[in-house]
Amino acid sequence: MDVLSDAVATMRTGRPHSSRTAQNPPWGVRFPASDGAGFHVVLQGAAWLLRPGEAAPVPLGPGDVVFLAHGYGHALADHPDTPLEDFALEPDGSWPVLPDPGPGPDTQTLLLCGAYQLNRSRAHPLLSELPPVVHIRAGVGTHHGLRSALDLLGAELAEPHPGSDAIVSGLLDTLLVYLLRTWWLRKSAEKREMTGWAAALRDPAVSAALQAMHSGPDRPWTVEQLASRGGVSRAAFARRFTALVGRSPLAYLTWLRMTTAGRLLRSGDTPLRVVAERAGYTSEFAFAKAFKREYGVPPGQYRRRPTTVAGS
């Protein structure tokens, strides 16, 4: 599995939700803070993105996309001064189906909004580095994959047919990857010097090592082996990896293995022996000891413990 796909799989849990709504002015919706991540797309018309404590509201035009990765409270409105109404989920955690106001004035705004349930207890640093708001402006001939996913999602929500629930869920997962990929590609194309994970994914030696670890976290990797993937010396590789990723190569490998193990324990009844092997341990006892050191509880107790996630 590549690094970006694994980063999404690390945090994603539960089922994403979305809705397609029309708003006639004046309108304003306040979204509360949560542990999840949300996105908004202006399909038609215009809107303002408002965030508490922010001096400057952000104007959004047709085709603009905003992704809020950290769950901060925010609002959308037709004007910064419009009074806001609180947005509330249904009791089961799904998004409410808002009534269509019908044909409106030329200033009517059509929105596509959604949210993802995330488990932030094992947040991948790639997602943690995202800015509070990722604003992807509309542009002719740009972001083809993202635009295609949005078109398909909007059409499916506008006219549901048999199988729509499965299609919408799959498209939302696809959209999340396209949002992250678009941000990363945009960062890679910027002229100024990159830092952190944007630089790590572009660095040939570090990127090759990350790909190797994510493809086989169960393998007994050494720093020398990882360095050889990028064709650099052990010392140079270790310095570059630690500077960009924020952890030493083996510390990151341990984090990845324990995160993989936690995901396997939560997602089914995989035998503990198999979980240990996939996390790179030949001994269940050694795995259980390492897991408890990382999570504070034994693997079996972690599997049985209720999961608390955003929107659940």
Tens-digit pLDDT profile for residues 66-81 = 999 888 899 999 999 9
CB 95 within 8 A of CB 169: no
pLDDT band at 126 (very low <50, low <70, confident <90, very high): confident
pLDDT of 104:
60
pLDDT at residue 106 is higher than 80: no
Average pLDDT score over residue span 47-63: 89
Amino acid at 178: Y
The pLDDT > 70 percentage for the chain reads 85
The pLDDT > 90 percentage for the chain reads 40
More confident residue, 67 or 102: 67
**Domain layout of the chain by residue ranges:** 3-189, 203-304
pLDDT at residue 254 is higher than 60: yes
Q: Which two tokens stand for residue 5?
A: 């796909």
Q: How far apart are CA 235 and CA 233, in angstroms?
A: 6
In angstroms, what CA-CA distances link 172 with 16, 19, 79, 157, 206? Answer: 7, 11, 28, 11, 30
pLDDT of 274:
94
Fold topology of 203-304: Arc Repressor Mutant, subunit A (1.10.10)
Sheet with 109-116, strands from edge to edge, namely 17-23, 109-116, 37-44, 65-68, 134-136
Average pLDDT score over residue span 288-311: 79
pLDDT at residue 142 is higher than 80: no
pLDDT band at 92 (very low <50, low <70, confident <90, very high): low
Among 90-94, 205-209, 270-274, 305-309, which stretch is predicted with the lowest mean pLDDT? 305-309
pLDDT at residue 23 is higher than 50: yes
- Torsion over CA: 147, 311, 295, 278 (sign): negative
CB 153 within 8 A of CB 112: yes
pLDDT at residue 310 is higher than 70: no
pLDDT of 191:
53
Average pLDDT score over residue span 91-101: 62
pLDDT band at 270 (very low <50, low <70, confident <90, very high): confident
Q: How far apart are CA 226 and CA 243, in angstroms?
A: 16
pLDDT at residue 309 is higher than 50: no
pLDDT at residue 108 is higher than 80: yes
- What is the average pLDDT value for the chain, to the nearest integer? 84
More confident residue, 274 or 8: 274
Assess whether the region 3-189 and the region 203-304 belong to the same CATH fold: no
Determine whether domain 3-189 maps to CATH 1.25.40.10.
no
- Strands annotated E in the chain: 17-23, 28-31, 37-44, 47-50, 58-60, 65-68, 74-77, 85-86, 109-116, 134-136
pLDDT of 311:
36
Average pLDDT score over residue span 96-119: 74
pLDDT at residue 251 is higher than 90: yes
pLDDT tens digits for range 176-217: 888 888 887 777 766 556 678 878 888 999 999 999 999 999
Q: Which of 263, 189, 182, 250 is nearest to 222 (CA)?
A: 250
Q: Which residues pair with 19 in a beta bridge?
A: 113
- Strands annotated E in 7-116: 17-23, 28-31, 37-44, 47-50, 58-60, 65-68, 74-77, 85-86, 109-116
pLDDT at residue 163 is higher than 80: yes
pLDDT of 130:
85
Among 70-84, 119-133, 221-235, 288-302, which stretch is predicted with the lowest mean pLDDT? 119-133
Phi, psi of 283 (to 5 degrees): -120, 125
pLDDT of 229:
92
